[in-house]
A and B are shown apart, each in its own frame.
Chain A
Amino acid sequence: MKRVRGSLIAVAIAGAFAAGAAQAQISDNVVKIGVLSDMSSLYTDLAGAGSVAAARMAVEDSGIEKRGYKVEIVSADHQNKPDVGSAIARQWYDTDKVDVIVDVPNSGVALAVNQITRDKGKAFLVSGAASSDLTGKACSPNTIHWTYDTWMLANGTGGAIVKTGGDTWFFLTADYAFGHALERDTEAVVLKSGGKVLGKVRHPLNTQDFSSFLLQAQASKAKIIGLANAGGDTTNSIKQAAEFGIVKGGQNLAGLLVFLTDVHALGLPTAQGLILTNTFYWDQNDQSRAFAKRFAERDKGIHPTMLHAGVYSAVTHYLKAVEALKSDDGTKVIAKMKETPTDDPLFGKGTIRADGRKIHPAYLVEVKKPAESKGPWDYYKVRATIPADQAFRPLKDGECPLVK
């Protein structure tokens, strides 16, 4: 009896090896992509379910499944809590055999997942989080920061505003990793260009009422009120600033991170004239418009934000690397991704640096006036293109230990 069982096991093991040979080193034969995002709170529309849809579209468009690979997408809600996000990441890596985590809006959660991914030797493709620390002192051989970061936003929007005379600033900052990073990077740009920071106030994430903070900003007499926050916090700040007559009183708002969905939520009468920086706008060319059309059909009519586009682009490049290596080993795939130039319909040609920073151009855009817009989602006109080699922080300034 014992012998029979033993030989059965041997057969089973042999069978497993035989199946494995066809799939080389794909762990448990499935490339499993985990989309970890905010599915229920203030960042849902700008990432959330749309990021899952974008990942799925990337898998379909890659055609990888027709070539014999199995790809599975799972998703979860991190609730903007680093502890919840960490617990999900651990469970995904340890028991659910997830190979790569993508998106993760909220820098607090992303920094936690960044560390876990590194410890477990998996792969992490950040589209949603903004903190430039992800390619700075927290950089990792297992992480690529795809879409944008706080340095890029600060330099794009902050730099442009200081140049046009906005040289005194007051910051309204979301009180967590992202807000702090965005404030720090923008302050550096302002000071470097000869401007001054007159004050700052740090509000809790997901605040409803900004009137107290706006009064403080008003009293500071700064020319520019820099909004170092995102999502619902930004829309509420902008809306209430209009109510309190901030712009009429001669001060201007700088939305340091404004997404297409935020502009949609505010409506053009309130949002017109805002200047912002992003790396993707759906109405750029035929390819991006085609993508937007397909995307909107899957995400309740929402047109893709740069985060959605980033998820699509990152997953596309990831799958290319997996196929080239015939492996989904996190560390190896990320290394392969870095050495291969990127090319996809949304961001065009680009590269990935040693510190994990994906490089592509950024666009300084202005929100259209209601009369200029042809309809919903027609919101931006591009004022300037920041070339890829200037859009992101120079490699040497990042203090990333991987760069020697």
Chain B
Amino acid sequence: MQALFGQLLVGLINGAFYAMLSLGLAVIFGLLNIINFTHGAQYMMGAFCAWFLLNKAGVGYWWSLLIAPVVVGAFGMLIERTMLARLYKLDHLYGLLLTFGLALIIQGLFRNEFGSSGMPYQIPTELAGGLNLGFMFLPKYRAWVIIASLAVCFSTWYVIERTKLGSYLRAATENPALVQAFGINVPRMITLTFGFGVGLAALAGVMAAPIYQVNPLMGADMIIVVFAVVVIGGMGSIMGAILTGFGLGVVEGLTKYFYAEASNTVIFVIMVIVLLIKPAGLFGRER
């Protein structure tokens, strides 16, 4: 029973990463209708950005949490302006193919430069060590990840669903021409939203750096799972992405305990079942 508590908590921690990444994807898809396959690569770039800041500029973890999302987000906006913006009139699939190609190129370049084993990134000293909870040893850093992720996820949800800014955004998705007529610069808003979604990926990357190796392939391993999370939650549903992210982290954690061999397939099994029963996803609305 004690072991089970531990597994639940560990599952939640992994879910925190899934939630943060799928949140970024859901924001970009829900508001902009872009299926962003570079998301994994941008997560990886966030981790690399933190590594560069530490090793080349001596900037530590805490500043990286701020700087990396801005830098990588700016890179995302550049891609949106120069490439994706040209595809808005076409089917989603073209955006998907473009971003998929870009992801392969970015990952290839990083792998070529840095190899596949990755680079070490130490846990910041403030968060080193851990707490003994009785039923498990909880590293302080993991506790921080779960709290930070919850804060980021719910503030994003709040901004988009409950504030005036969010309502502009949602309106611009529904009817861009009308919102533009009210004097709101819609293309700029779209670019900024895209940048924000990408920034979320980079933030998750910085937070992942001390746990996993800073590795050119870390995003490629993650992106497929995260897409499954978004599909299960319902494409574009913000709250759906958050809840499913945490939920599937737990399911995966339990699978690792009861039947570890299936732990990398269980999410896809769930995805198939959900798609068969509720094609729009658990929290999605049929359009």
Contact = CB atoms under 8 A, between A and B. Distances in A.
Given A215-B7, A245-B130, A249-B137, A42 B217 contact: yes
Interface stretch (B8-16, B30-38, B152-160, B186-194): B8-16
Nearest to B6: A215
Given A211-B13, A236-B212, A245-B139, A216 B115 contact: no
Q: Chain B interface: which size bin?
A: 35 or more
Contacts of B111: 40, 44
Contacts of A219: 2-3, 6
Interface stretch (B59-67, B239-247, B257-265): B257-265
Given A40-B111, A219-B3, A244 B137 contact: yes
A43 B118 contact: no
Given A232-B215, A267-B120, A213 B261 contact: no
B179 interface: no
B185 interface: no
Interface residues of A, number: 44
Contacts of B14: 209, 211
A206 B256 contact: no
A261 to B, nearest CB: 5
B260 to A, nearest CB: 5
B115 A45 contact: yes
Interface string A198-224: 000111101111011101101100000
B139 A264 contact: no
Of the candidates A46, A231, A239, A249, the one having the most CB atoms from chain B within 10 angstroms of its own CB is A239
Nearest to B108: A40
A207 B264 contact: yes
Interface in A14-45: 40-45
A44 B114 CA distance: 11
A212 B10 contact: yes
B126 interface: no
A206 B224 CA distance: 14
A44 B120 CA distance: 17
A175 B217 contact: no
Contacts of A244: 130, 137, 139
B222 interface: yes
A245 B7 contact: no
Interface string A246-279: 0001000000000001101111011000000000
A134 interface: no
Contact of A243 (B120, B139, B222, B263): B139
Contact of B260 (A40, A203, A206, A265): A203
Contacts of B217: 41-42, 232
A261 B13 CA distance: 29
A265 B120 contact: yes
B167 interface: no
B2 to A, nearest CB: 8
Interface string A296-323: 0000101000000000000000000000
Contacts of B261: 175, 202, 204
A232 B117 contact: yes
Interface of B: 2-3, 6-7, 10-11, 13-14, 111, 115-120, 122-123, 129-130, 136-137, 139, 141-142, 211-213, 215, 217-218, 221-222, 253, 256-257, 260-261, 263-264
9 closest Cβ pairs, A-B complex: A265-B117, A212-B256, A44-B116, A267-B120, A204-B264, A45-B115, A45-B117, A211-B10, A243-B139
12 contacts: A40-B116, A42-B116, A46-B117, A175-B261, A208-B218, A212-B260, A213-B256, A215-B7, A216-B3, A232-B213, A245-B137, A270-B120
